[in-house]
Structure 1
Amino acid sequence: MTTLIDNSMPKMANGETVKVDPKPKSPEIYVNGVEITLEAIQQEVQNHEAENPKDAYLDAARALVIRELLLQKANALAVEAEPLNDDQGRRETDDDAKVRQLLDQEVDVPRAGEEECQRYFDQHQEKFSSETIYETRHILLAGALEDPVARRKGMVKAQQIIDAVQKDPKRFGEFAREFSQCPSAKEGGNLGQLTKGQTVPEFETVLFELEEGQMSPTPVPTPFGYHVIQLDRKIEGRQLPFDHVKTKIAAFLEASSWSRAVAQYIGILAGEAEIKGIQIDGADSPLVQ
Structure 2
Amino acid sequence: MSKDNAIQYIELPPSPTGAKLQDPVLPSACEVGGCGYGPDVEHTPMPAFAEVRVNGVEITAEEIAREMQYHPAPEGEIAWHQAARALAIRELLQQVIASRRHKGQRQNDTDNPNDTEENTEISALLERELPAAHVTEEECRRYYDGHIHRFRTPDLFEAAHILIEPIEDTDSGRLQAEQQARQLTSELGNDAESFAAAARELSGCPTAQQDGSLGQVRRGELDRAVQQALEALAEGCTGREPVQSRFGWHVVRLHRRIPGQTLPFELAREKILDMLEARAWVTSASRFIGELARTANIEGVQLDLNASTTESPAS
Deviation at 1:99, TM superposition (A): 1.9
- In the other structure, the counterpart of 1:136 is 159
DSSP 3-state at the match of 2:237? coil
Determine if the alignment matches structure 1 residue 241 to structure 2 residue 264. yes
Question: How is 1:207-286 mapped onto 2 (pairs within 5 angstroms)?
Answer: 207-283=230-306
DSSP 3-state at the match of 2:220? coil
Deviation at 1:36, TM superposition (A): 0.9
Task: Return the alpha-carbon distance in structure 2 between the equivalents of residues 211 and 132 of structure 1.
Answer: 15
| Structure 1 moving runs of 4+ over 6 Å | 23-26
Deviations 1:167-202 (A, max 9, x none): 866411111001112222122111222223333433
Among 91, 94, 97, the alignment partner of 1:68 is 91
DSSP 3-state at the match of 1:97? helix
Deviation at 1:227, TM superposition (A): 1.6
Among 68, 71, 80, the alignment partner of 2:108 is 80
Report which stretch shifted further, 58-67 or 151-160. 151-160
Deviation at 1:24, TM superposition (A): 7.9
Task: Return the alpha-carbon distance in structure 2 between the equivalents of residues 68 and 167 of structure 1.
Answer: 69
Mapped contact 1:139–1:228 kept (Cα < 8 A): yes
Amino acid in structure 2 at the alignment position of 1:67: R
- In the other structure, the counterpart of 1:112 is 135
Report which stretch shifted further, 157-166 or 172-181. 157-166
Flag the 1:279–1:233 CA change in 2: closer, same or farther, 3 A: same
Flag the 1:173–1:25 CA change in 2: closer, same or farther, 3 A: closer
Larger radius of gyration: 1
Deviations 1:12-54 (A, max 9, x none): xxxxxxxxxxx98673111011001011011111111111111
Flag the 1:209–1:270 CA change in 2: closer, same or farther, 3 A: farther
DSSP 3-state at the match of 2:189? helix
Contiguous gaps of at least 5 residues in structure 2? 1-45, 102-106
- In the other structure, the counterpart of 1:6 is none
DSSP 3-state at the match of 2:153? coil
Deviation at 1:92, TM superposition (A): 6.5
Flag the 1:159–1:196 CA change in 2: closer, same or farther, 3 A: same
Mapped contact 1:158–1:219 kept (Cα < 8 A): yes
Task: Return the alpha-carbon distance in structure 2 between the equivalents of residues 77 and 202 of structure 1.
Answer: 64
- In the other structure, the counterpart of 2:28 is none
Task: Return the alpha-carbon distance in structure 2 between the equivalents of residues 198 and 24 of structure 1.
Answer: 40
DSSP 3-state at the match of 1:77? helix
Amino acid in structure 1 at the alignment position of 2:140: C
Deviation at 1:128, TM superposition (A): 1.3
- In the other structure, the counterpart of 1:187 is 210
Contiguous gaps of at least 5 residues in structure 1? 1-22, 83-90
Deviation at 1:276, TM superposition (A): 1.0
% identical aligned pairs:
38
Task: Return the alpha-carbon distance in structure 2 between the equivalents of residues 142 and 61 of structure 1.
Answer: 53
Deviation at 1:77, TM superposition (A): 3.2
Mapped contact 1:62–1:285 kept (Cα < 8 A): no
Answer 1 or 2: higher relative contact order, Cα 8 Å, separation at least 6. 2
Amino acid in structure 1 at the alignment position of 2:243: V
Mapped contact 1:63–1:285 kept (Cα < 8 A): no
- In the other structure, the counterpart of 2:74 is 51
* Cα root mean square deviation, aligned: 2.9
- In the other structure, the counterpart of 2:185 is 162
**Number of paired residues?**
256
- In the other structure, the counterpart of 1:17 is none
Among 200, 208, 214, the alignment partner of 1:177 is 200
Mapped contact 2:283–2:308 kept (Cα < 8 A): no
DSSP 3-state at the match of 2:162? strand
